[in-house]
Every structure is written in C-alpha cells, then in structure tokens.
Chain A
C-alpha cells in the first residue's frame, strides 16, 4: 500500500532523508522510530505530498505522489506532528469543512463526520470552538480529520504525543483496530508503543534505516531483551553528532 523507493530530501547541503526505502502492506502497522531530527517527519511529509522529494518516489496504493499528487492524496489520511487546526471553527464545523474538501457531500458527509466523532470520542466537544479545547481533544480532532474519508493509508506523526496515559492507551487501541484493514505508518519515540501497537518497526537515524523487523525480532537483535538498548546502540546521540 505504501511503497517508498529511494526517497531523498536535501535542505541546502544537509541531507534530511537519504535514500530511504521501505514498504507497508495492508493490515500492517509500521512503527517509525528514531531520535529527534532523524528525518521521520520529513519522510512523512514527502509521502503525503506536502514536500516534494529531492529524489526518489513514494507510491500510495500504486499511485505515485510525485506524478499524480492529487490522486494519491485522496488515498491518505494524515495527522501532522503538531495537530494543526483552524482555531476559529467548532469541532463539528472543522470536520464538515475537511469532509467537503475531500469531496464528500450530502448525507455521506454527515455520516462521515458523525462516524469520525464517534471513533475519536469527540461527542462532548463537537459544538465547542477549537481554541477552547485541551491538547488531548485537539489531537483527537486532528486524528478524526484524517479518518473522515476512510482512507486506505494512514500516516500519523507522533499520534500519542502530549496525551495523558489513558488517552495514549485509547489511541494505541484505535491504531491497532484500524490497522487490521488499513496500512498505517506512525512515528513515535516512545518505545513501549512498538510492542503495544506495531506489527513491524523500523529505526531511522540521520536519514537512513538502521534496524528493521517485527518487535520480537528487534528485541532479539538487542541481545539484552530491551528495545531501549538496541535504540541507543544503533542511533547517534545529538551530542555525538556535534562532536
């Protein structure tokens, strides 16, 4: 469903992402791990068509994001890192706007919005203005936006960031449930999430893949039975990078 082929992104002389390739199949939840600044968000922005890649291509359901961006974008639901929202709208109004921009209309739109509100537990705040929401609700509103058009591919950039433990648990369960029918790529630097929600994980460091496998395989690779040890061994700390 998601095929990333030799994706490269250069900002000036700095390589943010270097020759990255991986695939995510239907029914798979791929955890995208790596230290801050490893190129996770940049990769996701390229797959969603927000940033044009310097080289390489990403295909979503067989459609190239570079050649046919509008078509590819209809297949993707995307949750950006900071969960940006239009603060002057209500939750319901915002979701309705997103649904119509996705080409839904009439009763299909109404159903989609109501289903997304239900899935993300937003009933209590549906009529509330977005600028009055707490961080957890903001995150879930943005997640609801990504689910509206029932996309085949979900790309979630740190979906559990800034949530309380209960909300984190709910979001992980939701990802797991949605992952049965969709291809999901989500980034995180919370290692327990890999075990809790992923069917496979890759670790990236400075724009390259340094480890790839199922959670069990990765734990085995670590030798000590702890993902944290593996993570610390294969990635560079930013203090080292500077040296």
Chain B
C-alpha cells in the first residue's frame, strides 16, 4: 500500500518534469534511428527484429538507464527528504520497491512507444511475433538490471553526477564483458596476464605449470564474460525462454535492491 503511494509520487515526479520525456524521445530516436541506419533493417530484408532493432538496446540502456535512476536516492539524501521518508510509517523495502517500479515504468512506456517498428515488420513480412515479444521482455530485463545497479549506486552518494558516472561505468562494463570482440581480447591476454602473475611469485615449482596457467586463464575469461548481459539477452532475443536467464536477471535485480536496503540502513547507524 505504501509502496503504491511512493510509486505514484515518483512516477508523477518523472512526468511532471522534463526527465521522462527527454529520455523517452532520445530512446525512440536512438533505437529506431540505429535500426534503419547501422541496423540495415531495410537492406537485409529479414522479417525479424533481433539484429536490426534489439541488438542496439543494451548499448542505449548503458548510457540512459542510469540517467533515469540516478536521482532516486541521491536526491533524497541531498535535499534531506530521506529524513521525512525515514520517519513515515513505511519500511525501507516498500520505498525501494516503489521507486524502482516507477523508474521501470518510465522505461516500459519508452519501450511500448517503439510499437511502429513492430507494425512495420509485420506489414513488410511475416515475422515470428513470439520471438519479438520475447525480445521485448529481454530488453526490459536488461534495462531493469541497469536500473537496479543505478539504484544501488544512488544509495551510496548524495551527488547525482557521481552516481551517473559510476553507474554508467558499471553498465558499460556489463555490456562489453559479454560482447564477442571483448571476449576474444580477454581470452588472448588472459594467459599472459596469469603467467605474469605467476612470475611475480618467487620459488614456484609446479610440474604442469602451463596447464595450470591455461585453466586459470579460462576461469578468468568465463568469470568476466558471465557478468555480461549478452548471453542472457541473446537467448531471449531469439525467442528462447530459458529458466537460467530469468534467474540470472531476477537474482541480479534482487541482489542490487537488497544491497540498496543494506546501504541505506547502514548509513543511518
């Protein structure tokens, strides 16, 4: 109930100010613009949106999602309204939930407004609309993940600019980490990095040192790429509902929100 009240307030705050409109317009121009230019939507002549349209979403979200979420707690701490919120009979959780859902709603509106591209592709060809819906769900989940990260960062600082810079950096890392070119670069450099580390430790005398290095390098590559969003986004984008992807997105978001709650309560202690 109190979540709903906070949700309504945050949402009306987004739409009573230019923030939401600016974000939505830039997102629409960006996503549709890229579809028809670099996405080669018309030239490829493929009746799907996987590469031409959804491919660009993580790239746009990594820059724009933090702009929507940055004010959520940073502003509250700067203006001192957190003291009001903290003395209202509401739990921190319902405030976190209300704020998160409001930011997510702004993005949901932005995503829904891309409907002309769905109409276009249906008019021009015969696409798999199930896959398109799955693509939209995947896209929204990536966006929510970035929003949750921004919220976590926002709880740490009262400065919106710091929050924006830090969360954009984290989101950019998450987009790059799972990207194929980046993966290749990491797998190339990881073995030499590991052997460099091994050289630093004196008196190592392991028989199969090369195997050890290769295994460690492989673990590093796997670790780095597993925090990337692409693997999970792509399978949804292809119309594949895998439980592991939903669990990945879900647990990432819940973990960030739990972290937010922990930071907010530790700040008061």
Enumerate chain A interface residues (CB-CB to B < 8 A).
45, 48-52, 70-71, 73-74, 76, 78, 80, 82, 84-89, 93, 97-98, 100-103, 142, 145
- Contact residues in A for B128 (Cβ distance below 8 Å): none
Q: List 10 A-B contacts (CB under 8 A).
A: A50-B268, A70-B89, A78-B87, A84-B83, A86-B9, A86-B13, A86-B81, A88-B16, A103-B1, A103-B89
Give Cα A87 to B5, complex, Å.
Answer: 17
- Contact residues in B for A97 (Cβ distance below 8 Å): 5, 8-9
Give Cα A98 to B5, complex, Å.
Answer: 9
A-B contact count (CB 8 A): 67
* Residue from A50, A74, A93 with most neighbouring chain B CB atoms (10 Å): A50
* Distance in Å: Cβ of B216 to nearest Cβ of chain A: 41
Give Cα A99 to B130, complex, Å.
Answer: 44
- Contact residues in A for B16 (Cβ distance below 8 Å): 88-89
Enumerate chain B interface residues (CB-CB to A < 8 A).
1-2, 5-6, 8-9, 12-13, 16-17, 79-84, 86-91, 268-269
Give Cα A146 to B88, complex, Å.
Answer: 10
- Contact residues in A for B6 (Cβ distance below 8 Å): 101
Could you tell me if B90 and A101 are in contact, using CB atoms closer than 8 angstroms? yes
Could you tell me if B84 and A80 are in contact, using CB atoms closer than 8 angstroms? yes
- Contact residues in B for A93 (Cβ distance below 8 Å): 12
- Contact residues in A for B13 (Cβ distance below 8 Å): 86, 88-89
- Contact residues in A for B1 (Cβ distance below 8 Å): 103
Give Cα A50 to B92, complex, Å.
Answer: 11
Q: Which of A49, A74, A84, A89 contacts B84 (CB 8 A)?
A: A84
Q: Which of A45, A87, A88 contacts B83 (CB 8 A)?
A: A45
Could you tell me if B79 and A87 are in contact, using CB atoms closer than 8 angstroms? yes
Give Cα A87 to B75, complex, Å.
Answer: 11
Q: Which of A76, A86, A88, A100 contacts B87 (CB 8 A)?
A: A76
Q: Which of A82, A86, A101 contacts B5 (CB 8 A)?
A: A101
Could you tell me if A73 and B88 are in contact, using CB atoms closer than 8 angstroms? yes
Give Cα A145 to B79, complex, Å.
Answer: 16
* Distance in Å: Cβ of A122 to nearest Cβ of chain B: 17
Give Cα A1 to B247, complex, Å.
Answer: 49
* Distance in Å: Cβ of A129 to nearest Cβ of chain B: 9
Could you tell me if B80 and A82 are in contact, using CB atoms closer than 8 angstroms? yes
- Contact residues in B for A80 (Cβ distance below 8 Å): 80, 83-84, 87
- Contact residues in B for A84 (Cβ distance below 8 Å): 79-84
- Contact residues in A for B17 (Cβ distance below 8 Å): 88
13 additional contacts (CB under 8 A) given A50-B87, A93-B12: A70-B90, A76-B87, A78-B84, A78-B87, A80-B87, A84-B79, A85-B81, A86-B13, A87-B79, A101-B6, A101-B89, A102-B89, A103-B89
- Contact residues in A for B83 (Cβ distance below 8 Å): 45, 50, 80, 84
* Distance in Å: Cβ of A193 to nearest Cβ of chain B: 23
- Contact residues in B for A86 (Cβ distance below 8 Å): 9, 13, 79, 81
- Contact residues in B for A71 (Cβ distance below 8 Å): 89
- Contact residues in A for B87 (Cβ distance below 8 Å): 48-50, 73, 76, 78, 80
* Distance in Å: Cβ of B152 to nearest Cβ of chain A: 22
- Contact residues in A for B79 (Cβ distance below 8 Å): 84-87
Q: Which of A52, A85, A88, A89 contacts B269 (CB 8 A)?
A: A52
- Contact residues in A for B86 (Cβ distance below 8 Å): 49-50
Pairs of residues from A and B, 7 with the lowest C-beta to C-beta distance, nearest first: A84-B80, A73-B89, A50-B86, A48-B87, A84-B81, A80-B83, A100-B5
* Distance in Å: Cβ of B114 to nearest Cβ of chain A: 27
* Distance in Å: Cβ of B65 to nearest Cβ of chain A: 21
- Contact residues in B for A103 (Cβ distance below 8 Å): 1, 89
* Distance in Å: Cβ of A132 to nearest Cβ of chain B: 14
* Distance in Å: Cβ of A52 to nearest Cβ of chain B: 6
Give Cα A7 to B71, complex, Å.
Answer: 34
- Contact residues in A for B9 (Cβ distance below 8 Å): 86, 89, 97
Could you tell me if A102 and B80 are in contact, using CB atoms closer than 8 angstroms? no
Give Cα A85 to B81, complex, Å.
Answer: 6
- Contact residues in B for A49 (Cβ distance below 8 Å): 86-87
Give Cα A74 to B9, complex, Å.
Answer: 20
Give Cα A48 to B86, complex, Å.
Answer: 9
Give Cα A79 to B110, complex, Å.
Answer: 38
Q: Which of A50, A70, A76, A82 contacts B91 (CB 8 A)?
A: A70
* Residue from B1, B12, B84 with most neighbouring chain A CB atoms (10 Å): B84
Give Cα A82 to B269, complex, Å.
Answer: 20
* Distance in Å: Cβ of B222 to nearest Cβ of chain A: 42
Chain A residue, CB-CB nearest to B2: A101
Chain A residue, CB-CB nearest to B82: A84
* Distance in Å: Cβ of B9 to nearest Cβ of chain A: 5
